[in-house]
Chain A
Amino acid sequence: MNTLAAPLEHDNTQNDPTRRPVLVTGPCDLASITETVSRIVEQPAPRAWYLALMVCGLGTLVFFGLVAYLISTGIGVWGNNSPVFWAFDIVNFVFWIGIGHAGTLISAILFLFRQKWRTSINRAAEAMTLFAVICAGLFPAIHVGRIWVIYWLAPYPNQMAIWPNFRSPLLWDVFAVSTYGTVSAMFWYLGMIPDLATLRDRATTPLRQAVYGALALGWRGSARQWHRYERAYLLLAALATPLVLSVHSVVSFDFATSVIPGWHTTIFPPYFVAGAIFSGFAMVVTLMVPARAFFGLKDLVTPRHLENMCKIILATGCMVGYAYGVEFFTAWYSGNGYERFAFANRALGPYAWAYWLMLGCNVLAPQLYWFKRWRTSPWRMVLVAVLVNVGMWFERFVIIVTSLSRDFLPSSWGFFKPTWVDLGMLAGSFALFLTLFLLFCRYLPMVAMAEVKAAIDGAGHGRVGSPSARAPVPREVQATP
């Protein structure tokens, strides 16, 4: 493959090793970046946004209606039975927590790796994380049955003189997910403060000025404040990185600490984390491709950004495939009849259709990303991303339901069928997620303007075009014949 002479300004996915591609295509001075992002919030929303919000809002109401029905009537409205005690409720929980991981990875881990391209997508991805955690957290809350005494899970002095059982992975989950939600929220909000100040300073109505002003806490961009801000950002990124690894590992402990074949295997923690990043990035791609087209962000969320995300999807997809392979090999190698049966049952048993769908979506579909065309064409990549999300939902379904429906004792085997409430809640959780995301797009700064500006400052694209002294200046090269 030869170095192309195509100007990088229009298609920054071309790979010329002698220079770094631009991160912002089109006009990339500070004022236009500010304008591109702020006008989404400042101008009246397009009609399609209202339509989308109505549809999703309706779905959200249906979701909460179903939740009320569940709480008032009981868990029996779901399809859960003996032995399949966990079904859609926990599948949805794990699914949504997994989705949330991409945002933290983009915000924190890519920050630690000095990947400047993250600045265009990290705000939306972090918002997505927070909303995914909200959707996720609802399911364990409602699946307990008596949600009105759920506070018993917290270690507070009580008249029963009893404390929660800290040895249980379910309680580790409570701490992990709440820590994750809290830290994500803090990180997201801290990152937004300078951008909220921008919106405050551009505000044309007193209401906007008051609201954004209150949220911006009086930020004025002082260098002394920036210094502490940057340290705090680095510290939060350094803390969020192990956090994101630990959260989905703790979720995997819910299963792996048991003794059930198909669940009790040591590779679960890193496998779940890789799968979470896999599905999370697929969701980011699914959201950002339409969002960038719809909100006019094509110059900030460039084809290169999308391509990088596709590559990460491919890499984590390979890790998930690796885990499938190792588990399969070890099931044979272990000589444990129950393990062998568990895997044979997945491929050939009553849920075989789910298993093969999962393999097709998780292992086969992302292989398309080896091909440049599938990594750079927005709608092709969304197709693969949607398949990945479907596949990852089914992966959790296969893991949870097949292992529960057929474990050690054949006389205890049972079959699970979802009820309309199960399916309604799954759809409703998507509606809730999208509602929150739509509201975010409309009322909060979708792109981290301050971070984008800092990222391009290094490339010398300041307001007057004066290059910063320290950044590596791209050199002009003559390509070798």
Chain B
Amino acid sequence: MQPNAVADLPQDQITLGEPLAQRAGMLWTAGALALSAAAVFGWLHADGMQWFLHSWLLNVTFYVSLSLGALWLVPILHLTRAGWAVAVRRLAEVMGANFGVLAILFVPVLLGIDTLYEWADPLAVQNDPLLSHKAPYLNVPFFVLRAILYLAVWWCLGRYLLVRSTEQDSSGDPNVTLRLERASAPALVILALTATFAAFDWIMALEARWYSTIFGVYYFSGAMVGVLAVLPLAALGLQQAGRLRGAITVEHYHDLGKLLFAFVVFWGYIAFSQFLLIWYGNIPEETQWYRRRLSDGWESLALVLLAGHLVIPFFGLLSRRAKRRAGILAFWSAWLLAMHWLDLYWLVMPAVEQPVSVLGAMIDVLLAVGMAALYLAAAARIAATRCLVPRRDPRLVESLVFENT
């Protein structure tokens, strides 16, 4: 087979290498320890593991959103035949394939359905006409089935996109690109539906009497902010570790920064739309959800989100310079990643109807850190056996030489 014209990227630049993979292996233990510690604290919280389970749900949906965002990004890049993104696409593919560990992490949510969701209690459903009405959809067996379905679909999709793309590393076959492009459109349709209903099931159903048709889009917008924040951090991290030095240029950071900026604004637009319409209609059935999140101290978090998730990063990422300096972009990426976590916090935790205590906060942080460690360890495992760059993608050269005006 004749090779395509490849970019001259040295082998050690585009693979993870042993030492890094070994260090990533330590993350498994670190993660498991953190999660266990959090479980202990959760038991100490003495509320029947309520805070712990909600916090677990929050963190799982956070990491799911990152991989979902990646699962969105990769097909869109294939479908639009993006040339600029090829150098960073493999990183997103690895994230998108990371659903194995996420599926395992999701199990405690299923075990804790009774604590998390009011409608899981048959007595409560019996006594409440609204919950009875929703029972054909909101019941434990169907919920579990759907969760398994979503995770299975995402796992398959993530694997498919990664494996096909990795295939091309050795075969160099341009038809792979075409096949991935053809698969991308149906993939996006499936993703849209599964992600929407996952958001409905896992987050919106925490308060089963409330509903919002835009909720799936809201979750999607946060997920995109998340993945576009992780990619510059991942790229920078790998470059600091001596990888991808020639592959990812300032132009890639610039473009990732532009997309991050765009999705920050998009998130703000979606969040504001939902708020404005519910505020304006002022119907108690709908405002109850916001009332809970704008009282008892939660309003401070809402203000933090408004300022920190929208206004400040808007001005921070506005200038060309901010997006072209990897250090500045990394700062805003880390900032926005934290803000995305806080956004999900604000969505999930008020359902507990307890104020945030020191113990609770410790649980939250331990779970976040623990799951981060496991997520990274799993991602490193996936990446260890593969190239960090789709080195025989026909558009790779274009990706390496393009310039922003």
Knowing A256-B277, A318-B189, A480-B1, the reply to whether A336 touches B285 (Cβ < 8 A) is yes
Interface residue ranges of A313-343 to B (CB < 8 Å): 314-315, 318, 322-323, 325-327, 330, 333-336
Q: Could you tell me if A16 and B281 are in contact, using CB atoms closer than 8 angstroms?
A: no
Q: Interface-forming stretch among A77-85, A258-266, A421-429?
A: A258-266
A256 surroundings in chain B (CB, below 8 A): 277
Does A35 reach chain B (CB closer than 8 Å)? Answer: no
- Of A91-99, A433-441, A471-479, the one with at least 4 CB within 8 A of chain B: A471-479
Contact A253 B397 (CB under 8 A): no
- Say how far B187's CB is from chain A's closest CB, in angstroms: 12
Question: Can you name 14 extra interface pairs (CB under 8 A) apart from A253-B277, A265-B277, A266-B214?
Answer: A3-B174, A242-B265, A259-B281, A267-B214, A270-B214, A322-B196, A330-B211, A330-B213, A333-B200, A335-B129, A472-B83, A472-B401, A480-B2, A480-B173
B172 an interface residue at 8 Å Cβ cutoff? yes
A314 to B133, CA, bound (A): 35
Closest partner residue, chain A, to B136 (CB atom): A332
A108 CB, nearest partner CB in chain B, Å = 12
In the complex, the answer to whether B281 meets A258 with C-beta atoms within 8 Å is yes
Is the CB–CB distance between A322 and B2 below 8 Å? no
Please, how many angstroms separate the alpha-carbon atoms of A257 and B200 in the complex?
A: 22
Cβ contacts under 8 Å, A333 to chain B: 134, 137, 200, 211
Which chain A positions have C-beta within 8 A of B338? none
- Of B267-275, B329-337, B366-374, the one touching chain A: B267-275
In the complex, the answer to whether B401 meets A257 with C-beta atoms within 8 Å is no
From B28-36, B175-183, B241-249, give the one contacting chain A.
Answer: B175-183
Contact yes or no, A17 B277, CB < 8 A: no
Residues 141-160 of chain A: 1 if any B CB is under 8 Å from the residue's CB, otherwise 0? 00000000000000000000
Chain B residues contacting A264 (CB-CB under 8 Å) are 277, 281, 283
In the complex, chain B residues whose CB is within 8 Å of the CB of A478: 2
A472 and B274 in contact, given A249-B269, A265-B213, A333-B134 (Cβ under 8 angstroms): no
Q: Decide yes or no whether A182 CB sits under 8 A from chain B.
A: no
Whether B5 lies near A477 (C-beta < 8 A) is: yes
B405 interface contact, C-beta 8 A: yes
Is there an interface contact between A270 and B285, defined as CB atoms closer than 8 Å?
no
When A256-B277, A264-B277, A472-B402 are in contact, do A334 and B269 touch as well, CB less than 8 Å? no
CB<8 Å pairs between A and B, sample of 13: A1-B175, A17-B177, A18-B174, A249-B273, A257-B277, A259-B283, A266-B278, A323-B213, A326-B216, A330-B211, A334-B211, A472-B402, A477-B174
- Taking the closest CB of chain A, its distance from the CB of B256, in whole angstroms, is 14
Q: Is A9 close to B, CB under 8 A?
A: no
Which of A18, A112, A253, A325 interacts with B394 by CB under 8 Å?
A: A18
Q: Are A266 and B174 in contact (CB under 8 A)?
A: no
The answer to whether A245 touches B211, judged by C-beta atoms less than 8 angstroms apart, is no
- Chain B residue numbers with a CB within 8 Å of A335 are 129-130, 133-134
In the bound complex, how far is the Cα of B168 from the Cα of A18, in angstroms?
13
Which A residue sits closest to B176, measured CB to CB? A17
Assess whether B4 is in contact with A477, with CB atoms less than 8 Å apart.
Answer: yes
Instruction: Please judge, given known A-B contacts A265-B213, A266-B277, whether A481 and B398 are in contact too, CB under 8 Å.
Output: no
Enumerate chain B residues within 8 angstroms of A257, measured Cβ to Cβ. Answer: 276-277, 280-281
Interface string of B383-405 (1 = CB under 8 A from A): 00000000000110110011101
- Chain A's closest residue to B177 (CB) is A17
Closest partner residue, chain B, to A268 (CB atom): B277
Is A419 part of the binding interface, using a Cβ–Cβ cutoff of 8 Å?
no
Q: Does A11 contact B (CB under 8 A)?
A: no
Residues of B within 8 A of A470 (CB): 401, 403
B171 within 8 A of A: yes
Smallest beta-carbon distance B182→chain A, Å: 7
Please report which residues of chain A, range 1-37, place their CB below 8 angstroms from some CB of chain B when the two chains form the complex: 1-3, 15-18, 20
Question: A269 in the interface, Cβ–Cβ < 8 Å?
Answer: yes
Q: Are A269 and B137 in contact (CB under 8 A)?
A: no
On whether A230 and B405 interact (CB within 8 A), knowing A3-B175, A245-B269, A259-B283, the answer reads: yes
Q: 4 smallest A-B Cβ distances: which pairs?
A: A267-B213, A17-B177, A266-B214, A257-B280
Cα A438 to Cα B270 with chains together (Å): 38
A17: which B residues are within 8 A, CB to CB?
81, 174, 177-178, 394-395
Decide yes or no whether B192 CB sits under 8 A from chain A.
yes
A314 to B178, CA, bound (A): 19
Q: Provide the residues of chain A in CB contact with B283, threshold 8 Å.
A: 259, 264
Given contacts A1-B175, A472-B402, A478-B2, contact A269 B189 (CB under 8 A): no
Distance in angstroms between the alpha carbons of A74 and B179 in the assembled complex: 60
Asked if residues B269 and A269 are in contact (CB atoms below 8 Å), the reply is: yes
Kindly report which residue of chain B lies nearest to residue A109, judged by CB atoms. B262
Q: Are A270 and B394 in contact (CB under 8 A)?
A: no
Q: Which residues of chain A come closer than 8 Å to B113, judged between CB atoms? A: none
Interface readout for A440-481 with B: 1 if CB under 8 Å, 0 if not? Answer: 000000000000000000000000000000101001011111
B217 CB–A CB distance under 8 Å:
yes
Question: Distance (Å) between the CB of B119 and the closest chain A CB?
Answer: 12
Measured in the bound complex, the distance between the Cα atoms of B273 and A323 in whole Å is 15
Structural contact, A326 and B196, CB atoms closer than 8 A: yes
Chain B residues within 8 Å of A230, by CB: 405
- Indicate if the CB atoms of A1 and B281 lie closer than 8 Å: no
B3-20 CB contacts (< 8 Å) to partner A: 4-5
Contact assessment for B178 and A15 in the assembled complex, using a CB-CB cutoff below 8 Å: yes
Cross-chain contact of A2 among B84, B171, B175 (Cβ < 8 A): B175
Distance of B287 from chain A, by nearest CB (Å): 12
Q: Which residues between 198 and 247 of chain B lie within 8 Å of chain A, taking CB atoms? A: 200, 211-217
Minimal beta-carbon separation of B281 from chain A (angstroms): 5
* A138–chain B nearest beta-carbon distance, Å: 27
CB distance from A239 to the nearest CB of B (A): 12
CB distance from A66 to the nearest CB of B (A): 35
Shortest Cβ distance from residue A172 to the other chain B in the assembled complex, whole angstroms: 10
Q: What 0/1 readout, one digit per residue, does chain B (118-157) give for beta carbons within 8 Å of chain A? A: 0000000000011001100100000000000000000000
Q: State the CA gap A2–B175 with chains docked (Å).
A: 6
Whole-angstrom CA separation of A114 from B251 in the bound complex: 13
